[in-house]
Structure formats: C-alpha cells, structure tokens
Amino acid sequence: MMILGTLSQGPRHGYAIAKHIHDWSKGGLDIEDGSLYPALNRMLTKGWVRAEWGLTENKRKARFYRLTAAGRKQLEAESSAFNKMVRSIQLVMRTS
C-alpha cells in the first residue's frame, strides 16, 4: 500500500521508492531496499503497476514504475480498508 501510495504521486524508480518510504516514515520503517523488488514483481504480475526504462536526473539508467488504473483502484480499496481498521482500533482504544 505504501508503494502504491508513493507511486500515486507520479512515476518513480526503485531506489526513489525506497528512499521515499524511508524518508516518509522518518526512518521508523527500516526495511532492506531489496525486499522492495519482490513486492514490485507481484504488482507487475497483477497489473497494478507498469515499468519502463528511463534515465534518472543523474543520468543513471533505471526502471520507472507507474501506477495503472487497476493499481489506483487497488490503492483506494486498500487505503479505505486501512482507514476503517485504524478508526476501529482507535475506537476500541478510546472506549477501554
């Protein structure tokens, strides 16, 4: 979901996604960069993202990932499910 969220702001390459998540969570989520790729492969297989080779601002070759329509729908579904879950947890925490 975080990857989809990252990509919803525009196409990015793998390193940029990893960096974005890293910065975003303010270092709170410390994952290996490599573990990103199996997740990306799964999304490619499911058709949520599409990949194209391109050049970074530093003229490095990299693959850029772009969200597809299906991916966008998935993101909406997942984030609403996530929000619902967070709300329920908050509700439970407050009443106890």
Partner 1 sequence: MLWRNLLRRGRLDREWREEMDAHIQILTDSFVARGLTPRDARAAALKQAGNLVARREEIYSMNGIQWLDSISRDVRYALRGLRNQPSFTLIAVLTLALGIGANTAVFSVVNSVLLKPLPFPHSEQLVDLAQVAPGAGGLVGSRGLGLSTSMYFTYAEQNRSFQSMGVWISQHVTVTGQGEPEQVLANVVSDGLMQAFAVQPEIGRPFTASDQAPGASGTVLLTHGYWQRRFGGDQAVIGRKILVDSVPRQVVGVMPAGFRIADLPADLILPMQLDRRQAILAGFYLNAIARLKPGVSINQANADIGRLLPIWVRSWPDSPGGKVSGGGFVEQLFLKSWRIGPNIRPLRDSVVGNVSSALWVVMGTLAMVMLIACANVANLLLVRVDARRSELAVRAALGAGWLRIVRQLLMESLLLGAAGGALGLAIAYGGLRLLVRNGPSNLPRLSEIGLDSHALAFTAIVSIVSGLLFGLIPALRYAGPRVSLSLRDNSRTMSEGRDRHRARNTLVVLQVSLALVLLICSGLMIRTFQAMRGVRPGFERPDSVQTFRIVVPETLIPNDEQVTRIEQVIAEKVAAIPGVTSVGFASALPMDGVHPNWDGILKEGQSYAQGSRPPMRFYLNVSPGFFGSLGTRLKAGRDVSWTDIYGDRKVVLVSENLARELWGSAAAAVGQRVRANDGDVWREVVGVVEDVRHLGAQEPAPAVVYWPIYCRLTYRPIMVATRAAAFTVRTDRAGTGALLAEIRQAVGSVNAAIAVANPETLRETVDRSMARTSFTLVMLVVAGAMALVLGLIGIYGVIAYAVSQRTREIGIRIALGARAGDIRQMFVRYGLGLCGLGIAIGAGAAAILTRAMSSLLFGVAPLDPFTFAAVPLTLLLAALAATYLPARRVSAVDPVQCMRAE
60 versus 73: smaller Cβ distance to partner 1: 60
Q: How far is the CB of 13 from partner 1 (least distance, A)?
A: 7
Q: How far is the CB of 67 from partner 1 (least distance, A)?
A: 18
3 versus 18: smaller Cβ distance to partner 1: 18
10, 66, 89 from 56: Cα distances, Å: 14, 15, 41
20 versus 79: smaller Cβ distance to partner 1: 20
DSSP 32: -
Q: What residue ranges bind partner 1 (CB under 8 A)?
A: 13-15, 18-19, 32-35, 37-38, 41-42, 45, 47, 56, 58, 60-63
Q: How far is the CB of 38 from partner 1 (least distance, A)?
A: 5
Q: List strand residue ranges (DSSP E) for the chain, in order.
A: 12-13, 49-55, 61-67
CA proximity to 63, closest of 71, 51, 48 = 51
Q: Are 17 and 10 in contact (CB under 8 A)?
A: no
